[in-house]
Amino acid sequence: MKRQALIGTIAGLAFATGPATAEIMAEQVAFTEYGEIEQSLSGTPGDPAAGREVMASRALGNCVACHMVSDMSDIPFHGEVGPMLDGAGDRWTEAQLRGIVANAKMTFEGTIMPSYYKKSGYIRPGNAFTGKAATPEQLETLLTAQQVEDVVAYLMTLTE
């Protein structure tokens, strides 16, 4: 825990853009022309174990609905809509993975993969899975800034 806090502080200092734990709001995320996000969204390093949970949970990322991950074989029912994620940590940099998780459409034009850190631009957005319209206050990003960081940290561990 202590070590994490320290890394967080150093990362914050390195960017030197306000407080160490400043969260970047969905509306303010800066993508490079290739869809990468260079800066941590939460300012706090991601926790791979928490990220793994986010990817498995139907209520959170539910990434395994579309992706197979060998390291997650304890979780039942992996889908096949997206590519297998084994080796994703070799194929992509952290900034690229952050961009893909936050808004994959910036990396893969028109992709079917949902955007997990975005708040606007939807057609008939609903209030979660109720089928009812979402009021602007109800419309949250699918994952929090920290959850995106956690997922990215986990994806970085997927090396071959």
Site residues (CB under 8 A) for other proteins?
Answer: 58, 62, 64-66, 68, 73, 75-81, 112, 114-115, 122-134, 139, 142
- Please list, in sequence order, all residues whose beta carbon lies within 8 angstroms of the beta carbon of residue 116, skipping any fewer than 6 positions away: 61, 101, 102, 103, 141, 142, 143, 147, 148, 151
* Cα torsion 87, 5, 140, 119: sign: negative
Torsion of CA 16, 145, 126, 114, to 10 degrees: 100
Residue 52, contacted partner among ligand HEC, other proteins, none, CB below 5-8 A by kind: none
Q: Does 98 bind ligand HEC (CB under 6 A)?
A: no
Structure tokens at 36: 């990468």
> Which residue number, 15 or 83, has a Cβ lying nearer to ligand HEC?
83
Q: Does 97 bind ligand HEC (CB under 6 A)?
A: yes
> Which residue number, 28 or 73, has a Cβ lying nearer to other proteins?
73
> Which residue number, 66 or 75, has a Cβ lying nearer to ligand HEC?
66
| Residue from 93, 95, 88 nearest 67 by CA | 88
Residue 155, contacted partner among other proteins, ligand HEC, none, CB below 5-8 A by kind: ligand HEC
